[in-house]
Amino acid sequence: MFELLRKKINQIVKITDEEFEFIASGFTKKSLRKKQFLLQEGEICKSQAFVVNGIMRSYTIDEKGNEHILQFASEGWWMADLSSYLNEIPSRFNMEALEEVELLLLNKASWNLLMEKIPILERFFRILVQNHLIATQNRLMQSLSEQAEEKYLNFIDTYPECVARVPQHMIAAYLGISRETLSRLRKQLSVRK
Protein backbone atom coordinates (compact mmCIF):
# COMPACT_ATOMS: atom_id res chain seq x y z
CA MET A 1 0.00 0.00 0.00
CA PHE A 2 2.94 2.34 0.60
CA GLU A 3 4.81 1.64 -2.66
CA LEU A 4 3.04 4.40 -4.60
CA LEU A 5 3.68 6.92 -1.82
CA ARG A 6 7.39 6.09 -1.84
CA LYS A 7 7.52 6.37 -5.62
CA LYS A 8 5.85 9.81 -5.53
CA ILE A 9 8.18 11.07 -2.78
CA ASN A 10 11.25 9.77 -4.64
CA GLN A 11 10.17 11.62 -7.79
CA ILE A 12 10.78 14.87 -5.89
CA VAL A 13 13.32 14.06 -3.15
CA LYS A 14 15.49 11.04 -2.39
CA ILE A 15 14.99 9.23 0.92
CA THR A 16 16.57 6.17 2.49
CA ASP A 17 14.79 2.96 3.46
CA GLU A 18 15.02 3.93 7.13
CA GLU A 19 13.59 7.37 6.44
CA PHE A 20 10.72 5.86 4.49
CA GLU A 21 9.91 3.41 7.30
CA PHE A 22 9.61 6.38 9.64
CA ILE A 23 7.51 8.30 7.10
CA ALA A 24 5.16 5.34 6.63
CA SER A 25 4.68 5.11 10.41
CA GLY A 26 3.16 8.61 10.36
CA PHE A 27 0.31 7.62 8.04
CA THR A 28 -2.91 5.77 8.82
CA LYS A 29 -4.78 3.64 6.31
CA LYS A 30 -8.41 4.37 5.50
CA SER A 31 -10.87 2.81 3.08
CA LEU A 32 -14.01 4.53 1.86
CA ARG A 33 -17.00 3.09 0.05
CA LYS A 34 -18.34 4.76 -3.07
CA LYS A 35 -20.21 7.99 -2.10
CA GLN A 36 -18.71 7.97 1.41
CA PHE A 37 -17.32 11.27 2.68
CA LEU A 38 -13.84 11.86 4.00
CA LEU A 39 -14.79 15.44 4.91
CA GLN A 40 -18.04 17.38 4.91
CA GLU A 41 -18.57 21.12 4.80
CA GLY A 42 -18.37 22.60 8.29
CA GLU A 43 -15.97 19.95 9.65
CA ILE A 44 -12.30 20.66 10.28
CA CYS A 45 -9.95 18.92 7.85
CA LYS A 46 -7.83 16.79 10.17
CA SER A 47 -5.69 15.00 7.58
CA GLN A 48 -4.06 15.28 4.21
CA ALA A 49 -5.13 12.31 2.09
CA PHE A 50 -2.89 10.45 -0.35
CA VAL A 51 -4.94 8.37 -2.80
CA VAL A 52 -3.62 4.84 -3.22
CA ASN A 53 -6.59 3.45 -5.17
CA GLY A 54 -9.80 4.99 -6.47
CA ILE A 55 -10.96 8.53 -7.17
CA MET A 56 -12.05 11.30 -4.82
CA ARG A 57 -13.63 14.64 -5.51
CA SER A 58 -13.61 17.90 -3.58
CA TYR A 59 -16.62 20.14 -4.10
CA THR A 60 -18.95 22.74 -2.67
CA ILE A 61 -22.63 23.43 -3.19
CA ASP A 62 -23.79 27.01 -3.68
CA GLU A 63 -26.95 28.61 -2.30
CA LYS A 64 -28.87 27.59 -5.47
CA GLY A 65 -27.91 23.93 -5.01
CA ASN A 66 -25.33 23.87 -7.81
CA GLU A 67 -22.22 21.74 -7.33
CA HIS A 68 -18.84 23.30 -7.98
CA ILE A 69 -16.08 20.72 -8.18
CA LEU A 70 -12.68 21.97 -7.12
CA GLN A 71 -10.58 18.86 -7.65
CA PHE A 72 -10.49 15.22 -8.60
CA ALA A 73 -7.79 13.06 -7.03
CA SER A 74 -6.95 9.58 -8.30
CA GLU A 75 -4.05 7.26 -7.64
CA GLY A 76 -0.95 9.17 -6.57
CA TRP A 77 -2.71 12.49 -5.95
CA TRP A 78 -3.12 14.35 -2.66
CA MET A 79 -6.30 15.94 -1.36
CA ALA A 80 -6.94 18.25 1.58
CA ASP A 81 -8.58 21.55 2.41
CA LEU A 82 -5.30 23.25 3.29
CA SER A 83 -6.98 26.30 4.77
CA SER A 84 -8.99 24.14 7.17
CA TYR A 85 -6.07 21.76 7.82
CA LEU A 86 -3.47 24.43 8.58
CA ASN A 87 -5.71 26.94 10.37
CA GLU A 88 -8.03 24.43 12.07
CA ILE A 89 -11.14 26.19 10.81
CA PRO A 90 -14.34 24.65 9.37
CA SER A 91 -14.03 23.51 5.78
CA ARG A 92 -16.11 24.94 2.97
CA PHE A 93 -15.71 21.72 0.99
CA ASN A 94 -16.95 18.16 0.83
CA MET A 95 -14.54 15.35 -0.04
CA GLU A 96 -16.27 12.27 -1.38
CA ALA A 97 -15.22 8.92 -2.81
CA LEU A 98 -16.42 8.38 -6.39
CA GLU A 99 -15.30 4.74 -6.25
CA GLU A 100 -14.12 2.48 -3.48
CA VAL A 101 -11.02 4.29 -2.26
CA GLU A 102 -7.91 3.38 -0.30
CA LEU A 103 -6.19 6.33 1.34
CA LEU A 104 -3.16 7.08 3.44
CA LEU A 105 -3.96 9.87 5.90
CA LEU A 106 -1.45 12.23 7.47
CA ASN A 107 -2.66 14.26 10.43
CA LYS A 108 -1.10 17.59 11.35
CA ALA A 109 0.86 16.34 14.38
CA SER A 110 2.41 13.51 12.33
CA TRP A 111 3.09 15.88 9.45
CA ASN A 112 4.98 18.28 11.72
CA LEU A 113 6.91 15.43 13.35
CA LEU A 114 7.92 13.97 9.98
CA MET A 115 9.20 17.31 8.74
CA GLU A 116 11.11 17.84 11.99
CA LYS A 117 12.76 14.40 11.92
CA ILE A 118 13.27 14.19 8.14
CA PRO A 119 13.99 17.76 6.98
CA ILE A 120 14.01 16.84 3.27
CA LEU A 121 10.24 16.32 3.59
CA GLU A 122 9.82 20.05 4.04
CA ARG A 123 11.18 20.45 0.52
CA PHE A 124 8.84 17.69 -0.71
CA PHE A 125 5.74 19.33 0.78
CA ARG A 126 6.86 22.81 -0.34
CA ILE A 127 7.11 21.57 -3.92
CA LEU A 128 3.68 19.90 -3.62
CA VAL A 129 2.15 23.17 -2.42
CA GLN A 130 3.94 25.13 -5.16
CA ASN A 131 2.63 22.72 -7.80
CA HIS A 132 -0.86 22.99 -6.32
CA LEU A 133 -0.70 26.80 -6.46
CA ILE A 134 0.46 26.74 -10.07
CA ALA A 135 -2.32 24.31 -11.01
CA THR A 136 -4.89 26.48 -9.22
CA GLN A 137 -3.70 29.62 -11.02
CA ASN A 138 -3.77 27.83 -14.37
CA ARG A 139 -7.27 26.52 -13.69
CA LEU A 140 -8.48 30.00 -12.72
CA MET A 141 -7.07 31.50 -15.91
CA GLN A 142 -8.61 28.70 -17.99
CA SER A 143 -11.95 29.29 -16.31
CA LEU A 144 -11.81 33.01 -17.03
CA SER A 145 -10.43 32.98 -20.55
CA GLU A 146 -10.91 29.66 -22.35
CA GLN A 147 -13.82 28.37 -24.36
CA ALA A 148 -15.55 25.12 -23.37
CA GLU A 149 -13.59 23.00 -25.87
CA GLU A 150 -10.23 24.24 -24.56
CA LYS A 151 -11.35 23.59 -20.98
CA TYR A 152 -12.37 20.04 -21.84
CA LEU A 153 -9.15 19.29 -23.73
CA ASN A 154 -7.12 20.61 -20.77
CA PHE A 155 -9.18 18.42 -18.44
CA ILE A 156 -8.35 15.36 -20.57
CA ASP A 157 -4.64 16.26 -20.38
CA THR A 158 -4.72 16.89 -16.62
CA TYR A 159 -6.97 14.00 -15.58
CA PRO A 160 -6.71 11.34 -18.31
CA GLU A 161 -7.53 8.58 -15.83
CA CYS A 162 -10.78 10.33 -14.83
CA VAL A 163 -12.39 10.71 -18.24
CA ALA A 164 -13.87 7.19 -18.27
CA ARG A 165 -14.24 6.83 -14.48
CA VAL A 166 -16.00 10.08 -13.52
CA PRO A 167 -19.67 10.73 -14.41
CA GLN A 168 -20.06 13.27 -17.20
CA HIS A 169 -22.23 15.62 -15.14
CA MET A 170 -19.36 15.91 -12.63
CA ILE A 171 -16.88 16.70 -15.38
CA ALA A 172 -19.27 19.39 -16.61
CA ALA A 173 -19.53 20.80 -13.06
CA TYR A 174 -15.72 20.84 -12.78
CA LEU A 175 -15.44 22.70 -16.09
CA GLY A 176 -18.25 25.12 -15.27
CA ILE A 177 -20.28 24.16 -18.35
CA SER A 178 -23.65 22.53 -18.84
CA ARG A 179 -24.08 18.79 -19.36
CA GLU A 180 -25.50 19.53 -22.80
CA THR A 181 -22.44 21.55 -23.79
CA LEU A 182 -20.15 18.75 -22.64
CA SER A 183 -22.19 16.16 -24.54
CA ARG A 184 -22.04 18.28 -27.71
CA LEU A 185 -18.26 18.76 -27.28
CA ARG A 186 -17.62 15.06 -26.82
CA LYS A 187 -19.67 14.30 -29.93
CA GLN A 188 -17.78 16.92 -32.00
CA LEU A 189 -14.40 15.65 -30.81
CA SER A 190 -15.26 12.00 -31.56
CA VAL A 191 -16.25 12.96 -35.13
CA ARG A 192 -12.87 14.70 -35.66
CA LYS A 193 -10.88 11.59 -34.73
Residue 49 sits in a domain of what CATH number? 2.60.120.10
On whether both 152 and 96 belong to a single domain, the answer is: no
Q: How many domains does the chain have?
A: 2
Q: What is the pLDDT of residue 158?
A: 84
For residues 152-182, b (16+ Cβ closer than 10 Å) or e, as one string?
Answer: beebeeebeebeeebeeebbbbbbebeeebb
Is 122 found in the same domain as 96?
yes
Q: Do 134 and 164 lie in a common domain? A: no
Q: Inter-axis angle of helices 168-175 and 179-192, to 10 degrees?
A: 100
d(CA 58, CA 45): 12
Supply the pTM of this predicted model.
0.91
pLDDT tens track for 3-22: 999 999 999 999 999 999 99
51 and 41 in a single domain? The answer is: yes
Domain of 117, in residue numbers: 3-145
The low-confidence residues of the chain, meaning pLDDT below 70, are: 193
Output the pLDDT for position 143.
83
Evaluate whether 40 touches 32 at the Cβ level (below 8 Å). no
Q: Checking phi first, is residue 133 left (phi over 0); if not, alpha (psi -120 to 50) or beta? A: alpha
Same-domain status, 138 and 153: no
Are residues 58 and 140 located together in one domain of the fold?
yes
